[in-house]
Homo-oligomer: A and B are copies of this chain.
Amino acid sequence: MINIAQRVHDHQWKIDPIVRSVLDTDFYKLLMAQSVFRNRREARVEFSLINRSDAVPLARLIDEGELREQLDHVRSLSLTRGESTWLRGNTFYGKRWMFTPDFMQWLEGFRFPDYHLERRGDQYELTFEGPWMEAMMWEIPALAILMELRSRAVLRDMGKFELQILYARAMSRVWEKIERLQKLPDLAVADFGARRRHSFLWQDWCVQAMIEGLGRRFTGTSNCLIAMRQDIEAIGTNAHELPMVYCALAGEDDAALAAAPYQVLEEWQKDYDGNLRIVLPDTIGSKGFFANAPEWIARWTGVRVDSGDPFDAAEAAIAFWQRHGQDVSQKRIIFSDGLDIELIEALHARYADRVKVSYGWGTLLTNDFRGLAPDDRLAPFSLVCKAVSADGHPCVKLSDNPNKATGPAEEIARYKRVFGVGEQAARDVVV
């Protein structure tokens, strides 16, 4: 029995929008936006898309018109009443009223600012400029749109049957990983895969698989929309952009630059506490960060490890806590860089007994289509959207992996000097 009404409705769609809600973004964006709203409302920041995988010629794969339609659709979005109610009324990390009425009022009025899009060879230049708290909102939707348009470009060449096999294989693969996760004692793993997901529906499916397979050991998702719909926890804290912009705003004064990464955390802890007091030390190089960190940072809940060798990074955090007389067993390390099942297993074997560990599993949860399409055309790739300047000053991220560093060379050199970064080992960036 054909559902004629459904069919007629379907073929009236002009586009199939990828991002359909202001909440289809990472939870930490909202937390950070609120912090910016309070502390740096006047800053203007430019964000830029960076495709670290040259081999993926985005501008040849994705039609510019289609990309504009998707970006324009995002500009038509605003927070719905139900979404606002959820943000206002929900408990996040066990805390009510995480978002203040003035911030909520701002968010309800928020519209995505304009974008700048230009083809440059086989790549797109896509930038967002404006008040920091507006421009920053583009990061996740922009990445998700480019990733999904790339998926669609490849999927368009596949037949109905091939598609069925493709998803059957991808589902089997995710489920096999989950079955391996089931064997890990005291596991706590969250989905961090919104930005580089294969597609929205696929991220949603992966989250349902995690719920089904892991129960409470699956602690939630970074994606607010999926968290709301599936009635699970929204997960996230803060990201590199906070110290990056604070550092840029410090201008050319080296002492101010050196203080900025700690200043941002001081302001953060006024805004948030508990699980949200998670340090992300690698923005300026973890080694220098820990060496110069004031004692009160050692009392924070934990550290997120997002670049470099994760074992080295974990040891550095543990050494930092020990140096400050902290009970390491009560500290949390959140691993979130390039995780896949093997690495999670190895990290868990090494750290589960020593500290509280959790995993923010991203691209290889929500986009592991490696080897599933001809010429590996659906393999995930390394696309990021980074702050590039703030009030006219360039933004820099050093990272613990020089292949993940961003910013002009001379500024990177200055940051390395100011933050005491010596030799760094380069690691391939897969996702």
Residues of A within 8 A of B (CB): 1, 3, 5-6, 9, 159, 161-162, 164-165, 167-169, 171-172, 175, 208-209, 212
Contact = CB atoms under 8 A, between A and B. Distances in A.
Contacts of A9: 1
A263 to B, nearest CB: 47
Given A168-B167, A171-B168, A161 B212 contact: yes
A5 B6 CA distance: 13
Given A1-B3, A164-B171, 10 more contacts: A161-B208, A161-B209, A162-B212, A165-B171, A165-B172, A165-B175, A165-B209, A168-B169, A168-B171, A169-B172
Copy total for this chain: 2
Nearest to A178: B165
A214 to B, nearest CB: 12
Interface residue SS majority, chain A: helix
Nearest to A7: B1
A327 B315 CA distance: 75
Contact of A1 (B5, B162, B172, B209): B5
A178 to B, nearest CB: 9
A1 B1 CA distance: 14
19 contacts: A1-B3, A1-B5, A1-B9, A3-B3, A161-B209, A161-B212, A162-B212, A164-B171, A165-B171, A165-B172, A165-B175, A165-B209, A167-B168, A168-B168, A168-B169, A168-B171, A169-B172, A169-B175, A172-B172
A278 B347 CA distance: 62
Nearest to A5: B1
Contacts of A172: 165, 168-169, 172
Contacts of A6: 1, 3
Nearest to A1: B6
A340 to B, nearest CB: 19
Contacts of A1: 3, 5-6, 9
A71 to B, nearest CB: 28
A361 B3 CA distance: 37
Output the residue of A6, A172, A209 with the most chain B CB within 10 A: A172
Output the residue of A162, A165, A167 with the most chain B CB within 10 A: A165
A162 B175 CA distance: 10
A208 B160 CA distance: 11
Contacts of A165: 171-172, 175, 209
Contacts of A5: 1
Nearest to A8: B1
